[in-house]
Chain A
Amino acid sequence: MPLNSNESILDHYQAMELAVSQLLIEKGYFTESDMFAEIEAMAKRTSEIGAKVVARAWANEEFREALLVDGTEACESIGIVMGPTRLMVVESTEKVHNVIVCTLCSCFPRMLMGVPPDWYKSESYRSRVVREPRKVLAEFGTKVSLNTDVRVHDNTADMRYLVLPKRPVGTEGWSEEKLSALVTRDSMIGVRVIDNPAS
């Protein structure tokens, strides 16, 4: 397979990945085209899907409540295919600032945000955000007041987390479409907040 045509020597994990994927294909678990179709489907997902969910929750109180009770079901009710893991939505408020991490690997709500950013997978973020979250958040430009609790969510098992960020001030009455344009990937991970739009 010409997956590594630019590199003459495979590193340990590249060799292992190639060996395992070839074995699975040879044994008929899936075909090579299944694999590439899945990679393409994953690459097509972006944080725009998550932004739509957030905008809907801001604009529609009933949806917001349903989303906080059962994230998977609420997303499926608006046509988002969630796959095998289940979604837990955590709401940031004046009292609580939520931030997500996977300290063990790189679990991420891919069905809503696509592939995680490289920093999310870095050892530095994964080890530091549980230990000194306020310092890490400050490095992202997010200063959280000591009156607000910082709640870190470690994705260790079968749930995936999405932060419902605080709705910016001055967006009352905005359409879902206009709201969703404000929502950033980093705000749904919880490392940044959404600025109030310039009036």
Chain B
Amino acid sequence: MALFMPGDQVTVRKAFPPGHVRTPYYIRGKSGWVQKVLGSFANPEELAYGRDGLPKCPLYRVRFMQSNVWTDYSGGQGDTVDVELYEHWLELFDILRKKEKVCL
């Protein structure tokens, strides 16, 4: 079962685990909203090492405002970037949080 629904505001974990990870650096720590729930897929972080990647992880298409991703973004106000992210990389956006958590 997918934890998040379309419209949920989420933040990408600002984590830097070693190994094969499909979460681009530029999007870690950024907040966006779930645009679509894409289904569940074998975890690529496990598949990369010859393991079965099970249980499957829910995958989301998350949309970010470019102006939130890059502080100096100079394009249009409505410009966005969509990134596919596995559920274990996402947490519900916390409006009260002053500092971004950094975990390793």
> Does B92 touch A at the CB level, under 8 Å?
no
Please state if B76 and A154 are interface contacts (CB–CB under 8 Å): no
Residue A198 is within 8 A (CB to CB) of chain B in the complex: no
Q: Tell me, yes or no, whether B26 is within 8 Å of chain A by CB.
A: yes
Interface status of B34 (Cβ within 8 A of chain A): no
A151 interface residue per 8 A CB criterion: yes
Contact B76 A155 (CB under 8 A): no
Chain B 69-96 near chain A by CB (<8 Å), digits 1 or 0? 1100111101111111110000000000
> Which residues of chain B come closer than 8 Å to A149, judged between CB atoms?
76, 78-80
A150 near B: Cβ within 8 Å?
Answer: yes
**Is A146 in contact with chain B by the CB < 8 A criterion?**
yes
Interface size class, chain A: 20 to 34
A144 to B76, CA, bound (A): 10
Q: Which of A86, A132, A154 contacts B83 (CB 8 A)?
A: A154
Tell me, in angstroms, the Cα distance from A130 to B73 when the chains sit together.
10
Distance, CA A156 to CA B82, complexed state (A): 10
Query: Looking at B26, B41, B59, B76, which has the most chain A CB atoms within 10 Å of its CB?
Result: B76
B15 at the interface (CB under 8 A from A): no
Chain A: which residue is nearest B42 at the CB level? A158
Evaluate contact between B24 and A104: CB separation under 8 angstroms. yes
B4-35 vs A: 1/0 string, CB under 8 Å? 00000000000000000011101100000000
Residues of B within 8 A of A148 (CB): 76
Please give the distance in Å from B71's CB to the nearest CB on chain A.
11
The reply to whether A155 and B79 form a contact with Cβ atoms under 8 Å apart is no
Please tell me if the beta carbons of B86 and A154 are within 8 angstroms of each other in the complex. no
Instruction: Please report the C-alpha to C-alpha distance between residue A149 and residue B85 in the assembled complex, in whole angstroms.
Output: 22
Report if A152-B84 is in contact (Cβ < 8 Å); known contacts: A103-B26, A159-B61: no
- Name A's B-contacting residues (CB within 8 A): 86, 88, 103-104, 130-134, 144, 146, 148-159
Q: A155-B84, A158-B41 are in contact. List 16 more A-B contacts (CB 8 A).
A: A86-B38, A104-B22, A144-B76, A146-B76, A148-B76, A149-B76, A149-B78, A151-B82, A154-B81, A154-B83, A156-B23, A156-B84, A156-B85, A157-B22, A157-B85, A158-B84
List residues of chain B with CB under 8 Å of any chain A CB.
22-24, 26-27, 38, 41, 44, 59, 61, 66, 69-70, 73-76, 78-86
Q: Could you list 18 examples of A-B contacts with CB < 8 Å?
A: A131-B26, A131-B70, A132-B74, A133-B66, A134-B76, A144-B76, A149-B76, A149-B78, A150-B75, A151-B80, A151-B81, A152-B79, A152-B80, A152-B81, A153-B81, A156-B84, A157-B86, A158-B59
